[in-house]
Structure 1
């Protein structure tokens, strides 16, 4: 099954895992923006990673992975929410030609931000010292969560996938068991991760271990933009600047950078945003 995430655990241990495969949702996101191959693949890894990480948190809201760097891609981000809806974007990346992570990202920071539906956002930041997104995320957990975590990510033109293993807090952690399951996972090939369903992949890796696989949960590409959110963004610009746009163009138009949906606002719409009943005089 594509576009699903599966949780699994190793019986009688404190190790859990998540497996994700994205096909249609990944291609739907890529169809909105025509990225170079290296950027598209990296965006797929971000989508897989955001899906894996959001599945480990019991909350209502969204999780955002974002990197700002000085490489060929100034900004790249992916978002997954508690409804298992995904979106992602890379800005100013159309000229990026590299397939190398460090060349694409350069020096900068990786931020993971959790936006609860009710409550204050939480953000953790780690430097981009790793040679891959997976390595940077593992460093984040080592630094911020102090949980042993291993992540495998890959993507091609048609699909993206990821696998995560995490050692849960325990008074007596079994380090030999942890080394065993991670060493086996290190043998996985990208084509296996991209092509195999969770049950097949886990059997191939751990047929001699007691692994319990939970039901798959669907993932979908769906933007969380709304007219209300766009209105809040426009208010932050200021009424004077918006009125100047209306005088010049007769209305305010803006597209969602994620899904490219067009939002239009009339002079009366703009006035209502600022609780005024004034009219705009066009010259």
Structure 2
């Protein structure tokens, strides 16, 4: 088996499950190339934030594989520093999207670490939004200096299962490897340490550049796991003009009418895909079913 470039990119956006038949350990590998290019092509992310967002994207794609119901898994890292938020949404339909918010006027070095960017009181938030039923959310303080470390600490605390996660992000692609002891199964500490140590030897270049077949062969060719058919992952944004309309209705005719009276229109940009939704005076009046813009103008004249 060789690791030539043509073979390495044969599965550009895939998540692959594997399991070891001789020990109670399961795993996942993910590599996203076109999805990642779609995301980073929408905004100019500073290098350090781009790397962290890419690693969280890989992590969200790995964690969402455990969705047992139709719905969306939202993985967020929030802080009060120059980096305000990283968020990834991954669905049971094998789609995902991601974005970041940061102080765009601040200096951000290319090699700055996640903890420094987030500042104090950072939290990790995991939200499950089923299509039917109530959402569930877990919030914990950040523990660890990287996306992989904070996720491993979270999973050890919440699931109490031995877990190893390695994540990587380059300009071209993101990749990740997750290995976990099977629930309700015992594993010899030495055996777990052996496979975890092998997994730790995966380099960032390998995870971002190679497909599952080549990564798993490189790591575990002496005790190869059983590998399942890969699942394709696609970028998809759930924004729509209808959803923006609902948001404007919630804000109310007075507030939206004031904006349109002053600016001529209201424009909403989607954080995830950068799609722009513009509502002019005619659109807003039709939305609220009355001439809210003119009402604002008349009220302003009355108060003068």
1:65 is matched with 75
5 Å-filtered alignment, 1:1-12, equals 1-12=11-22
RMSD (CA atoms): 1.9
Gaps of 5+ in 1: none
Q: Which residue of 2 aligns with 1:53?
A: 63
Is structure 2 residue 92 aligned with structure 1 residue 79?
Answer: no
1:30 aligned partner: 40
Aligned to 1:105: 118
The aligned length equals: 282
Distance 1:105 1:92 in 2: 9
SS of aligned partner of 1:163 = strand
Matches within 5 A, 1:117-266: 117-266=131-280
Question: Larger Rg: 1 or 2?
Answer: 2
Deviations 1:216-243 (A, max 9, x none): 1111222111122212222232221011
TM-score by length of 1: 0.92
Deviation of the 1:176 alpha carbon: 3.5
Secondary structure of 1:32's match? coil
Partner residue of 2:301?
Answer: none
Q: Bigger shift: 94-103 or 115-124?
A: 94-103
1:89 has 2:102 as partner? no
SS in 2 for 1:170: coil
Asked if 2 retains the 8 angstrom alpha-carbon contact of 1:14 and 1:170, the reply is no
Divergent runs of 4+, >3 A: 171-176, 266-274, 276-280
> Aligned partners of 2:180 and 2:103: how far apart in 1?
33
